Amino acid sequence: MFLKTRRFIITGGALIIFMAALYPTPGVATNTPDLKPAKAIEKHVPESLTPEPLICLDCHRTPNIHTNEGVIASRSFCYDCHKEADIKKRDVSKDINLQITPDIFAMNQPEHRFIACINCHTDVARSPHKTETGATCLGCHSPHSEGPANAPHLRITCQACHFQSKFVRLDPKDHRVKLSHIDYDSVPIGLSDHIPTDITDEETCEKCHFKKNPVGAPAAVLPSKSALCILCHNSPLAMGHPVFGLAGLIFLAGIFIMTGFWFKGSVKGEETSLHRKISLSSESIWRTIFSKQFFSLIKVFILDILFQRRILKESVSRWSMHSLIFTAILLRMALALFTAIGFYFNPDGNLLTALIDKNHWFTAFTNDLLGLFILLGIVWAVVKRFIVKPDYVVTEYQDNITLILIGSLVLLGFLLEGARILVTGIPSEMAAYSFVGYILSRMFSFFPFDWASIYPLMWYVHGVIAAIFIAYLPFGKMRHMFNTPLTYFIEAVDGVKNEKRV
Amino acid sequence: MEINQKHQETYQRFHVLHRLLHIVIIFNFIFLAITGFLLHFSAFGWVSSIVFLMGGAGAAGWLHRVCAVFLYIGILVHVSWLFYYKIVLNQKLSGPDSILPGKKDIRDLYQNLRYVFNKGTPPLFDRFSYLQKVDYWAVMLGMQSMGITGLMKWFPEFFTGIFPGYFINIAAHFHFHEAVLAVMYIAVVHMSDTHLVPDIFPMEKTIFTGEIEKTRFMEDHPEEWKREQVIKG
């Protein structure tokens, strides 16, 4: 027995050693794909070092700026002139210094110190030595949307915010805000030092956002939209302003209280233990999802919730009124969600750039049309409740609060859009697609108010009402948007299942 | 035979939360394994064509991180459930029902090996057998070290402020080799010790339905069954 085991161990050990010997050792197993580029470089280097006769193309050439050699070659060509102290651009009133040395540039923009000048200044290496496009950033960087900067900032060049120079101008040709080469007293200034600014500091926004600014910016720095605004607008996953944060907290607390209320009733005979109630109801939800009933729930979701079949059965006019509000908000939310998520994945695409651009014809028209639908629905409801007053309409104060909140939100939204179009001075052929806002902006232009100062006030009122609306959702009339679908679902699963009392 | 099994009395073994977390772990683990290995073996031609279909290496890396975050959220939910179990439900985390390893597991292992070599009776398992405990702790501890090494690879700028730079390389090696270990463990040990057991084949459904049949309960977890009968009286 003992001998047998020992023999077993010896054979096993020998087998293991044999297998290990078969395993390729690191010295033998070379990683061939890694070696290829190294070989290529080795071959290439001596060739480029061979002396060449002096010909035109020694200077007038297109170095490959995607290689280190090319970057150094092309930069040395720029610095050859621009490092000199007396390099100046002659202007009518004053000479502008255009000096920039490699050391200053590396100090001011350490991120770009291994990048060729012509990588950004794409159209300067030619005669006449003058740029049409300015420096381009979007060749490498992706634009940002809501959050760090709101959508109207799409017509602002990167440098206007990200560079330290305090002077900006509105280019009438392409209607974009750019860094100005003259200060506000028309004295030429140099921009060759390339000093970026700390854009997290709100003070940098104030170079545009002050009273009577020349670029059509609102007079105050406004916070970004909040994640709560996704109900109607493309918005970032941010708080934006403490008011929105507070509203979000109240909303969550309300949802919590509402869910707690659902579990106040008995669940399958269990009266007291909340733990038992939750486990019983989650058990039955689990069984429903993994059963054929799931398909009937999808049917209920599409017909009764998205298309509001039960209201249509009651009355066509009620359905029309409700759908004008509900479907329009739903569509705006779907569009906003698609934009927010899509932009996250593809910030360079044309489609998403169009969707985050408030002035693009599709976005402007769709949002205005849907907003108008909501407003029409609200007006219809108000007329029915306060003027026609049919017997079956019972008006409660909760209904009035909801109508006032949604109505004033949409109305203020349109007023804001009108003021924005007026203040930013968007050309009318572009602004006409936001048809409601454009008409309002024409009307506003008759009143000689300082709209750039009124705009921030209106923005805050709109924001605060939106915050109140969100916070009110789980408490008032709007609670039905959680309760009604749930009731439909429970009815669909089991007509008399008294699992949750709503 | 089949009909009999279908109409058997069943007992609840797993709550909905645990079934849900198990599904979360299944999906995220599979996607993590796929994207991770595709990214690691990017030198092969067919790998790059699959990665291209996923939207490029950036998208595959993004998916890998998203799945990692969701997997770890699952672990955090599980840990907070443990606190809930201990504090709110006032239950004991140790004891015979526990997933914590104990002396009985070593005895069971020994007895099971004896049984495998035809030298005695099979061990009487409690709520969790020693193999199930190993399954649990392999995931629980493995996810901690995968999480830490993964975070080091994700945020090298932060971690090189604390550790020397070669720790990132070490983390990368640990991450890959432990990924191989985890996938091998799940694919070989976990799959075979749950689904390929002759009594259970073709599929162990308890973790998905939450229910265990009476006969299997009595056979596989006899100690727990005994205690259950004592409590019932």
Note whether A283 contacts B17, CB cutoff 8 Å. no
What is the pLDDT confidence band of residue A4, given thresholds at 50, 70 and 90? Answer: low
Q: Are A180 and A168 in contact (CB under 8 A)?
A: yes
Query: Any CB–CB contact under 8 A between A298 and chain B?
Result: no
- Pick from B15, B43, B89: which is nearest to A33 by CB? B43
Is the model's pLDDT at B20 over the cut of 90?
A: yes
Q: Are B68 and B24 in contact (CB under 8 A)?
A: no
Confidence (pLDDT) at A7 = 67
What is the pLDDT confidence band of residue A302, given thresholds at 50, 70 and 90? Answer: very high
B8: which 2 tokens? 């058997």
What secondary structure, in 3-state letters, does A311-325 show? HHHHCHHHHHHHHHH
- Smallest CA–CA separation between A501 and chain B, in Å? 21
Give the residue with greater pLDDT, A372 vs A68: A372
| CB neighbourhood size of B39 (10 A) | 16
Confidence (pLDDT) at B160 = 93
Q: Compute the distance between CA of residue A200 and CA of residue A382 in angstroms, rounded to an integer.
A: 45
Q: Compute the distance between CA of residue A295 and CA of residue A255 in angstroms, rounded to an integer.
A: 27
Is the model's pLDDT at A42 over the cut of 60?
A: no
A75: which 2 tokens? 């930069």
**Cβ neighbours of residue A202 closer than 8 Å, sequence gap 6 or more:** A221
In our burial notation (b when 16+ CB lie closer than 10 A, e otherwise), range B75-106 reads beebeebeeeeeeeeeeeeeeeeeeeeeebbe
- Among the residue ranges A143-147, A148-152, A338-342, B36-40, the one predicted with the least confidence is A148-152
Query: Any CB–CB contact under 8 A between A390 and chain B?
Result: no
What is the pLDDT confidence band of residue B33, given thresholds at 50, 70 and 90? Answer: very high
Interface probe for B, chosen from A4, A35, A280, A282 (most Cβ of B below 10 Å), is A282
Confidence (pLDDT) at A30 = 41
In our burial notation (b when 16+ CB lie closer than 10 A, e otherwise), range A22-56 reads eeeeeeeeeeeeeeeeeeeeeeeeeeeeeeeeeee
Work out the mean pLDDT of chain A and round it to a whole number.
Answer: 82
Confidence (pLDDT) at A281 = 87
Is the model's pLDDT at A388 over the cut of 90?
A: no
Note whether B210 contacts A283, CB cutoff 8 Å. yes
Confidence (pLDDT) at A8 = 64
Is the model's pLDDT at A56 over the cut of 70?
A: no
The closest of A210, A247, A250, A242 to A224, measured between CA atoms, is: A242
Place of tokens 């066509």: A316
Is the model's pLDDT at A169 over the cut of 70?
A: yes
Instruction: Please report the sign of the dihedral spanned by the C-alpha atoms of residue A45, residue A51, residue A53, residue A54.
Output: positive
- Among the residue ranges A125-139, A395-409, A418-432, the one predicted with the least confidence is A125-139
- Smallest CA–CA separation between A93 and chain B, in Å? 49
What residues form DSSP beta bridges with A270? A267
What is the pLDDT confidence band of residue A191, given thresholds at 50, 70 and 90? Answer: confident
What residues form DSSP beta bridges with A176? A171
Domains in chain A: boundaries: 64-217, 228-493
Would you tell me which residues 29-48 of chain A have a C-beta closer than 8 angstroms to some C-beta of chain B? 31, 33
Q: Which residues of B touch A349 (CB under 8 A)?
A: none
Residue of chain B whose alpha carbon sits nearest to that of A285 = B16
Would you call A405 exposed, middle or buried from its count of C-beta atoms within 10 A (0-12, 13-18, 19+)? buried
Is the model's pLDDT at A36 over the cut of 50?
A: no
A251: which 2 tokens? 């909303």
Note whether A286 contacts B19, CB cutoff 8 Å. yes
CA–CA distances in Å: residue A470 to residues A223, A254, A316, A381, A412: 18, 10, 29, 21, 16
Q: Which residues of A touch B15 (CB under 8 A)?
A: 279, 282
Residue of chain B whose alpha carbon sits nearest to that of A275 = B89
What is the pLDDT confidence band of residue B6, given thresholds at 50, 70 and 90? Answer: low
> What spatial distance separates the first Cα and last Cα of chain A, rounded to whole Å?
75
Mean local confidence (pLDDT), A302-323: 91
Mean local confidence (pLDDT), A290-304: 90
pLDDT tens profile A83-142? 888 777 766 667 778 888 888 888 888 888 888 888 888 888 777 787 878 888 888 888
Confidence (pLDDT) at A184 = 82
Query: Any CB–CB contact under 8 A between A26 and chain B?
Result: no
- Among the residue ranges A23-32, A151-160, B2-11, the one predicted with the least confidence is A23-32
Confidence (pLDDT) at A264 = 85
Peptide bond into A223 cis (omega under 30): no
Q: Which residues of A touch B210 (CB under 8 A)?
A: 283, 286
Note whether A275 contacts B19, CB cutoff 8 Å. no
CA–CA distances in Å: residue A98 to residues A85, A166, A183, A412, A494: 8, 18, 16, 48, 79
Confidence (pLDDT) at A27 = 42
Mean local confidence (pLDDT), A481-494: 85
CATH of A228-493 among 1.10.3720.10, 1.20.950.20, 2.130.10.10, 3.30.930.10: 1.20.950.20
Note whether B16 contacts A285, CB cutoff 8 Å. yes
DSSP for A32-79 reads HHHHHHHHHHHHHHHHHHS-----GGGTS----TTSHHHHHHHHHHHH
What is the pLDDT confidence band of residue B17, given thresholds at 50, 70 and 90? Answer: very high
Gyration radius of chain B over CA positions? 21
Q: Compute the distance between CA of residue A17 and CA of residue B160 in angstroms, rounded to an integer.
A: 40
Q: Which residues of A touch B43 (CB under 8 A)?
A: 31, 33
Q: Which residues of B touch A283 (CB under 8 A)?
A: 16, 210
Confidence (pLDDT) at A89 = 74
pTM: 0.79
Instruction: Please report the sign of the dihedral spanned by the C-alpha atoms of residue A177, residue A179, residue A181, residue A186.
Output: positive
Q: Which residues of A touch B69 (CB under 8 A)?
A: none
For the ranges A343-347, B98-102, B169-173, B204-208, the one whose mean pLDDT is highest:
B169-173
pLDDT tens profile B110-169? 999 999 999 989 999 999 999 999 999 999 999 999 999 999 999 999 999 999 999 999
Would you tell me which residues 417-436 of chain A have a C-beta closer than 8 angstroms to some C-beta of chain B? none
pLDDT tens profile B55-82? 888 889 999 999 999 999 999 999 999 9
Confidence (pLDDT) at A208 = 87
Number of alpha carbons in the 13 Å side-chain half-sphere of residue A31: 8
Query: Any CB–CB contact under 8 A between A348 and chain B?
Result: no
What is the pLDDT confidence band of residue A17, given thresholds at 50, 70 and 90? Answer: low
Note whether A279 contacts B15, CB cutoff 8 Å. yes
- Among the residue ranges A133-137, A142-146, A485-489, A496-500, the one predicted with the least confidence is A496-500
Element (H, E) at B111: helix B103-116
- Pick from A275, A283, A285: which is nearest to B89 by CB? A275
Interface probe for A, chosen from B10, B11, B12, B16 (most Cβ of A below 10 Å), is B16
| Alpha carbon of residue A21 to chain centroid | 58
pLDDT tens profile B160-175? 999 999 999 999 999 9
Work out the mean pLDDT of chain B and round it to a whole number.
Answer: 90
Mean local confidence (pLDDT), A428-438: 91
Is the model's pLDDT at B213 over the cut of 80?
A: yes
Confidence (pLDDT) at A25 = 46
Q: Compute the distance between CA of residue A210 and CA of residue A119 in angstroms, rounded to an integer.
A: 34
